[in-house]
Amino acid sequence: MAARGRRKGKRSPWQVVPVSARTVDGKVYRSGYEAGVARSLAERGLAFDYEHTVLPYVIPKVTRVDWTIRTQSGRTILVESKGYFPPSAREKVAAIVESNPDEDYRLLFQPGSQAAKLGPALAKRLGIQWATGDSIPDAWFEED
């Protein structure tokens, strides 16, 4: 019996095209479509490279920082409080620090949490201040 929503004999779009169908002139392409494009270019005698050029890209995003505090002198410190700290959150913190080098961005880790175990090493690597505790340290407010 065919799976619900699919006609019998139809290949689902997420099934992998066999390597033989993705190979053109000894080069294996990621998809049957790309192999077809390569075949078309080769048949027309056009010069091309496949996945030769590497381009970095950034997807612009914004974040809302948990805490904005001001020191006695009026300087602004941005504090992100973390308990759960999955890889995606660690990557986000690194991207925030890299994208905002002029901001005083710090991390506060929940005691006994995953973040308290993993976060300090990241903070040190990024060169930012951090603390572990249930509250933002008084010393941060007292800075000049």
SS3 track for the chain: CCCCCCCCCCCCCCCCCCHHHHEECCEECCCHHHHHHHHHHHHCCCCCCCCCCCCCCCCCCCCCCCEEEECCCCCEEEEEEECCCCHHHHHHHHHHHHHCCCCCEEEEECCCCHHHHHHHHHHHHHCCCEEECCCCCHHHHHCC
At residue 88, does pLDDT exceed 60? yes
Q: What pLDDT does residue 2 have?
A: 47
The CATH classification of domain 67-142, taken from the options 3.40.91.30, 3.30.950.10, 3.40.1190.20, 3.40.190.10: 3.40.91.30
As annotated, the residues of the chain forming the CATH 3.40.91.30 domain(s) are: 67-142
Looking at residues 12-20, what average pLDDT do you find?
67
Averaged pLDDT, 19-38: 84
Lowest mean pLDDT among 2-16, 37-51, 70-84, 108-122: 2-16
